Chain A
Amino acid sequence: MPRSVLDPAERLAQELGTTTNDAIVRLAQEGASARERREQLSTLASQRRAAVESVDLGKALTFPSPDEFREAMLAGRRD
């Protein structure tokens, strides 16, 4: 068992009044829970980012003129 796990487990065991083995299980549960949360966040973030960045030019007919496009881009400063 590496010291990086054993030391916090011994501190936790002392704090909770339990055995080191029990504390190791608790730390493992916390770690697993944190990992699951990270995986869920990563999945959600990937789905959402893909939705934001997806582009569909399939039905595109024509493009705006350069002036129309620039005016739109700067609309927030000109309303």
Chain B
Amino acid sequence: MTAAWDTTLVSRLYPGGALERALLERAHEGAPVAVTAPTVMEVVRGIQAAAGENPRPIGDRLATGLQWFIGLVASDLVEILPLDRPAAIVAGRLRALHPIPPTGVRRKGVKPEQRAGWVLDIQIAACAWTHGYEIVTENLHDFQTLRDLIATLYPDASRLVVTEPTPNE
């Protein structure tokens, strides 16, 4: 099954880093890594905001990093999974069923950010599942919760597969 990287993995991408090498290898093999549109939105939002908030030279460096990231996701090296009609329907249903983040895991940030992160994770899971991808994440607990919710909503459809990153990821 083909894998989609969630935000926890994408946020480890760096020019020349191990994760970028893994991504380039996958693209070379003709099976590019998939990233969901909500992850792209989240990451771009973060870098754009940080570039604007930080003084020079950090802000300039982050602006350069943003250009690199946009170039990467706009290329054929990564497949972007859109939040299309089926994904939007699934995401809406998931959010109604579980409007707040699961308990039991310490989440960083204050409540609004926790909720924003949870809504994004819902959209990421919905995109990956409706496009037929498994999700690779460091955030197993939350995505397993989403996997079970999807299975409750669509018991006859195959389940979302949630996996941890391999050492190469």
Residues of chain A having any CB pair with chain B under 8 Å: 52-53, 55-57, 60-66, 68-79
Contact = CB atoms under 8 A, between A and B. Distances in A.
B51 A72 contact: yes
A1 B158 CA distance: 48
Given A77-B116, A77-B117, A62 B47 contact: no
Interface of B: 7, 10-12, 14-15, 17, 42-43, 45-47, 49-51, 57-58, 60-62, 64-65, 67-68, 70-71, 74, 107-110, 113-114, 116-117, 120
A73 B49 CA distance: 9
Contacts of A71: 50
B109 to A, nearest CB: 5
Nearest to A67: B14
Contacts of A64: 58, 61-62, 64-65
